[in-house]
Amino acid sequence: MERADIVIDYAPRPHQLIIHNDPARFRVPVAHRRFGKTVCCVNEIIRRSIACGRPRPRYGYVAPFRTQAKQVAWDYVQHYLKPLNATFNQAELRADYHGRRLTLYGADNPDALRGLYFDGVVLDEFGDIDPRIWTEVIRPALSDRQGWAIFIGTPKGKNAFWELAEKGREGGDWSAHIFKASETGIIPETELKAARDAMPEDQYAQEFECSFEAAIQGAYYGKALKEADEAGRITRVPYDPALPVWTAWDLGIGDSTAIWFAQIAGKEIRLIDFYETSGVGLDHYAKRLREKPYSYEPLLLPHDANARELGTGRSRTETLQSLGFKTKVAPRLGVDDGINAVRTLLPRCWFDEEKTKPGLEALKQYRREWDERMKTFRPRPMHDWTSHAADALRYLATGLPDRVTKPAPRPDKPKWVV
């Protein structure tokens, strides 16, 4: 098949050409809203796939949610692949053309990506994706084909996307480009002025000027965690063998289970470890706990851990007890009350920056859900990959004994004896 036979209805803008012409294997374009990131990357997949000489090339487009991938990219995939006489599978969001295949995925279902190989992958809005999707699932899937990856999005604080952008500055296999609205000229100045007038300063800086310094809009714990970082409370926090370890669990069914490991030292809450995975039974988590050198207090479980499962007739509390652990069920509180309990606890928390890194990343990203139609935040958290770690910390904040979570009462003032 000659490349000259194929003409695609796509004329890249000058700034999009920078992405297309970049030879780096791993590219991190940080681009403002309405830059044309999706169009650019869909066409990059098509261009690279046609040039690929390997048998049965496979490509993936990954968004935080599968529905999001469909909304932002599927129409473009169909439009630009139509001249190649592609066949489209609507149910699987898959396009097949000239022995090549492009499939859309959601990062919320990592199991759909396991066991596959890819010649190239685009990760859209990477700041909203669990970074372990890249390190544990997609990166290995690129290895045997020496595939490439593009990470696109707008900043949402100094998260994993920021880390990749920083890595891109180092060169080698990696590259990074920053495309600010004030510099590209894609959006007219009158529109930018209108956006500046209508949006909070931080939001405008994040969405249009690609600022990683701007606060994450709607984040519940962003300010408290920033203060913890500035105060040096995100650092190396060693395990103290003289102190028992509390674990707080968010138990998933067909979903992730997250566990925080904490030690209490006076007024300090020391978060020394974190673990999260999915697709395994409670015996797996029991084994992981025993592999660690910790001495455990009763496990802090969510209120629904006492519900009996239809398949076994036992509750998850009973299962963990049968595996040799004492348990305690956290009180049933509303999400708002739990979030407030975490906010009260965070000023006393120390985090081991390496061992708790995945959980800490989730806490930084945990935020209110955005109502696109009303252009405002809904009064509830967004349920995504950040929820499990955030919920587990809520159970820690609400399940610890009162002597730990509440400050000691002030002594009575001395009375004058006359």
Q: What is the pLDDT of residues 262-284, one digit of tens each?
A: 999 999 999 999 999 988 899 99
Please report which residue ranges of 169-302 form alpha helices under DSSP H. 181-184, 189-198, 201-207, 222-230, 282-291
CA distance 315 to 279: 18
Instruction: Classify domain 222-405 by CATH number.
Output: 3.30.420.280
Domain boundaries, the chain: 3-207, 222-405
Question: Residue 404: what pLDDT?
Answer: 67
Question: Residue 221: what pLDDT?
Answer: 95
Question: Residue 378: what pLDDT?
Answer: 81
CA distance 112 to 118: 13
**Burial class of 233 by CB neighbour count within 10 A (0 to 12, 13 to 18, 19+):** buried
Mean pLDDT of the chain: 91
Question: Residue 34: what pLDDT?
Answer: 92
pLDDT digits (tens, 9 = 90+) for 322-364: 999 999 999 999 999 999 999 999 999 999 999 999 999 999 9
pLDDT digits (tens, 9 = 90+) for 68-77: 999 999 999 9
Domains 3-207 and 222-405 share a fold: no
CB distance 281 to 254 below 8 Å: no
> 418: Cβ–Cβ under 8 A, 6 or more apart, which residues?
none
* CATH 3.30.499.10 describes domain 3-207: no
Mean pLDDT check: name the lowest of 27-31, 34-38, 72-76, 402-406: 402-406
The Cα angle at residue 187 between residues 181 and 193, in degrees rounded to 5: 80
pLDDT digits (tens, 9 = 90+) for 142-175: 999 999 999 999 998 888 999 999 999 988 999 9
386 vs 213, residue with greater confidence: 386
Query: What are residue 368's DSSP bridge partners?
Result: 381
Question: Residue 411: what pLDDT?
Answer: 46
- Confidence class for position 408, pLDDT limits 50, 70, 90: very low
- Confidence class for position 379, pLDDT limits 50, 70, 90: confident
What 3-state DSSP class applies to 116? Answer: coil
Question: Residue 203: what pLDDT?
Answer: 87
- Confidence class for position 310, pLDDT limits 50, 70, 90: low
| Count of CB atoms situated within 10 Å of the CB of 244 | 14
